[in-house]
Amino acid sequence: MNTKPARVTCPHCGHSMHLSIDFSNGDQDYFEECPNCANDVHLHMHIDDVHKKLDVSISADDEQLY
């Protein structure tokens, strides 16, 4: 199991949170609850196999565009 620390910023309130992301399963989508504002943060992980890089994109799932 490979985990990698990642820092993401909540799209709702701007709070920074640290996550341990398991990137051994390839691309993943999951939801993390922001500890500050308790809104769901949608995380999409993409593994770049060529560069062994982890890309994390974050979106809020409400209709409001940030």
Binding site for Zn ion (CB under 5 A): 10, 12-13, 15, 34, 36-37
In whole angstroms, the minimum distance from the beta carbon of 65 to Zn ion comes to 16
Q: How far apart, in whole angstroms, are the C-alpha atoms of residue 46 and residue 55?
A: 5
Q: Which is nearer to Zn ion, 10 or 21 (CB)?
A: 10
In whole angstroms, the minimum distance from the beta carbon of 51 to Zn ion comes to 30
In whole angstroms, the minimum distance from the beta carbon of 28 to Zn ion comes to 21
- Cβ–Cβ < 8 Å for 14, 1: no
Q: How far apart, in whole angstroms, are the C-alpha atoms of residue 46 and residue 54?
A: 6
Amino acid at 36: N
